[in-house]
Chains A and B, each alone.
Chain A
């Protein structure tokens, strides 16, 4: 909260961007809850709808609750050619959820992402913005086990 407030005062001085404020909230909450955005709206004197329209636009700023670990699987051409669909299927099976869903214990969410620039080590995915590359079934299972 203190970090957020200090960013807000920076924003007012023109030293920080709105998108950075969103990211700060997402960093701790994993999504942008109504209460937080409404707080921003009041502090910054910007209508809520104006903030929401911007926030809801971006893939990395969820506006609905997500898991502790957001797994974003790349399904662009290079990853697709190297078997990203298998990785996706496997994640769904292991976590017993579908794309866009969160596990019951609130730990994992699976999403699709556009190219993450790991085409030379495809297939790849991001977990909370950290890249995991050259994936295969064994590797994915190991990653999940460590996070569980």
Chain B
């Protein structure tokens, strides 16, 4: 795997001889985009950073259902991540970096801390301090402004943009927030011979061999699914919890890249694929996913807080054959309403899975 290559600080040493702007340009030219699912051009994000004291935050709050690639990197090649943080900090003239590690991954903290200590001699050269802040169990802390609120000690609610973190982020200072996989790729980019299309996919669900696979974007869906060895004929593929689904038999030859998936009404997101077998009930799956959003809604705005709660209620009704025609209509209305009127991106995305389910599996929502 490309991501398991060792750099042993060679990338870092190479950049020390480069101008900051050249490092940023190298990253920009490489075409690296945020691997959290945001797909924002990383080099551009770096370029947009304001002046003065600033922060780098490594977003290790991987909470998307069915996504565990960042954990994979932190377990199997964490030094690449630390080196990536160092290069990014150097390029943006940052001297304070924070790894925001989700509380559920707290067992990874001692190992990472040890590694940071061992890297001291490199970090000293650029006067960089890296510290780990543990999250405490909230999905939305993966959203960049919610991380800021969490670190600042507030209720981790999403901030209204603008201002963007690149201008006013942590404690009001310019802040760059990059995902684990994004940063781990930096040393490899600097060293060259790096393939942007090779990305980590988390495969799980009704599979005999779930796990992390490094796959080139653009291969047909059936190729990816076959790697995980389905237990039976797949019925649908879900892209995490918030990025929707597509029916498998119909789209097994679909090229797996952001554009092609978006065309079908879903999103590739953080490349977490949950394969659902032919024996599964889509309404049941929808309920499980909506329960997740009820659990993870912050409660700030009406549509997400109350709406998703009612969505679960309606799905239960359908599952128990107690629903009437109006209930399905109301469900459809709510699904659009929640994404139309919610305060933040979590609310907006919380019904994508149902939009897709209603588009492709409407028959299962029977009354």
Q: For the complex, what is the distance from the CA of A27 to the CA of B70, rounded to whole Å?
A: 25
Q: For the complex, what is the distance from the CA of A119 to the CA of B272, rounded to whole Å?
A: 10
Q: Which residues of A contact B135 (CB under 8 A)?
A: 19, 58, 60
Give the residue of B62, B107, B241 whose beta carbon is less than 8 angstroms from that of A76.
B241
Counting CB contacts under 8 A, is B71 at the interface? yes
Q: Which residues of B contact A58 (CB under 8 A)?
A: 103, 135-138
Give the residue of A80, A115, A129 whose beta carbon is less than 8 angstroms from that of B63.
A115
Interface membership of chain A positions 1-36, coded 1 if the CB is closer than 8 angstroms to chain B and 0 otherwise:
000000000000000011110110000000000000
Complex interface residues of chain B between 103 and 117 (CB less than 8 A to chain A): 103-107
A22-B136, A114-B65 are known contacts; what are 7 more A-B pairs with Cβ within 8 Å?
A17-B152, A77-B241, A77-B288, A81-B274, A113-B104, A115-B292, A119-B210
Q: Which one, B79-87, B182-190, B199-207, B252-260, is touching chain A?
A: B199-207
Q: Is the interface of B mostly helix, strand, loop or mixed?
A: mixed
Q: Which residues of B contact A100 (CB under 8 A)?
A: none
Query: For the side of the interface on B, what is the size category?
Result: 35 or more
Counting CB contacts under 8 A, is A126 at the interface? yes
Q: Is the interface of A mostly helix, strand, loop or mixed?
A: mixed
A117 close to B103 (CB less than 8 A): no
Most buried by A among B68, B103, B150, B238: B103
| In the complex with contacts A119-B68, A120-B204, A54-B104 CB distance below 8 A | no
Residues of B within 8 A of A (CB): 62-68, 70-71, 103-107, 133-139, 150-156, 202-206, 210-212, 238, 241, 272, 274, 276-277, 280, 285, 288-289, 291-292, 295-296, 298
Q: Which residues of A contact B211 (CB under 8 A)?
A: 120
- State how many angstroms separate the Cβ of A117 from the closest Cβ of chain B: 4
| In the complex with contacts A19-B150, A78-B204, A129-B106, A117-B137 CB distance below 8 A | no
A117 close to B71 (CB less than 8 A): yes
- Chain A residues bordering chain B, tally (CB within 8 A): 34
8 A-B residue pairings within 8 Å (CB atoms): A77-B65, A78-B210, A81-B276, A114-B292, A115-B64, A119-B68, A126-B104, A130-B107
Q: Which residues of B contact A97 (CB under 8 A)?
A: none
B274 close to A19 (CB less than 8 A): no
Counting CB contacts under 8 A, is A90 at the interface? no
Complex interface residues of chain A between 80 and 122 (CB less than 8 A to chain B): 80-81, 112-122
